[in-house]
Amino acid sequence: KAGVTQTPRYLIKTRGQQVTLSCSPISGHRSVSWYQQTPGQGLQFLFEYFSETQRNKGNFPGRFSGRQFSNSRSEMNVSTLELGDSALYLCASSLSLAPTNTGELFFGEGSRLTVL
Amino acid sequence: AQSVTQPDIHITVSEGASLELRCNYSYGATPYLFWYVQSPGQGLQLLLKYFSGDTLVQGIKGFEAEFKRSQSSFNLRKPSVHWSDAAEYFCAVGGTGGSYIPTFGRGTSLIVHP
């Protein structure tokens, strides 16, 4: 079974630009979560999508947005990039089927964003 | 609110030595607990998980962890460390209530000396 696939793996942008990152979850997984990882802040939860609906949201500004498509693939977008947005963005998928949902996540390798 | 504390930012061990990484959690009910490992430039990989039952759980790569409810701890152990174990280790707590979104600790960086 293929794992979680994130594209692109690396990208460089300049301040003020916007970026779109893509995530394809494991087949059959309906939940996709996004995390931002930086050396200073660790793993910060951005948002979670389930069946094309944002189910949970972390404490990030509105410049960070996402969506999920009917095939469970997800994208996240960051507009008006700032230097502080430089980070590894990780996508994770899970089955997320209540009541047996346990929060176990399967991660992609991440998209490394550098903002200059 | 749930939280996780990994008190050690860095741990240095010699190859072949034993390892214990500490994790303390805060959660109002029975937690689901996880340990993940992240190699440089990679995503996180699940090492092991605790949902219920036997408090000593076995994981991949020779790792094990013990759930101690009285101490709110879920420490990760390995009897003999290999150089390839050098990585970042994350403890996480989740649960059945609310959003199911697990909370991660800040991570412990493991350095292995030859």
What 3-state class would DSSP assign to A36?
strand
Mean pLDDT, rounded, for A33-37: 96
Q: Which chain A residues contact residue B94 at CB under 8 A? A: 102-104
Full pLDDT tens readout for chain B, 114 residues? 788 999 999 999 999 999 999 999 988 777 889 999 999 888 999 999 998 888 999 999 999 999 999 999 999 999 999 999 999 999 998 865 555 678 899 999 999 998
A70 vs B1 pLDDT, higher one: A70
A102 vs A90 pLDDT, higher one: A90
Cα–Cα distance between A35 and A22 in angstroms, integer?
Answer: 13
Disruptive mutation site among A50, A107, A112 for chain B (greatest number of B CBs within 10 Å): A107
Instruction: Using alpha carbons only, give the angle A15, A109, B110 rounded to the nearest 5 degrees.
Output: 100
Q: Cβ–Cβ contacts within 10 Å for residue A45, how many?
A: 20
Mean pLDDT, rounded, for A98-109: 76
- HEC profile of B1-42: CCEEECCCCEEEEECCCCEEECCEEECCCCCEEEEEEECCCC
Q: Which chain A residues contact residue B41 at CB under 8 A? A: 109, 112
CA B39 to chain centre: 14
Q: Cβ–Cβ contacts within 10 Å for residue A9, how many?
A: 12
How high is the pLDDT of residue B102? 85
How high is the pLDDT of residue B99? 59
Q: Which chain A residues contact residue B104 at CB under 8 A? A: 42-43
How high is the pLDDT of residue B78? 98
How far, in Å, are A71, A74, B59 from residue A48 at the CA level?
15, 10, 27
Q: Cβ–Cβ contacts within 10 Å for residue B68, how many?
A: 11
Instruction: Using alpha carbons only, give the angle A41, A73, A8 rounded to the nearest 5 degrees.
Output: 60
Contact B107, B35 (CB under 8 A): no
Question: To the nearest whole number, what is the mean pLDDT of chain A?
Answer: 92
- The reply to whether residue B101 touches residue A90, judged by beta carbons under 8 angstroms, is no
How high is the pLDDT of residue A113? 97
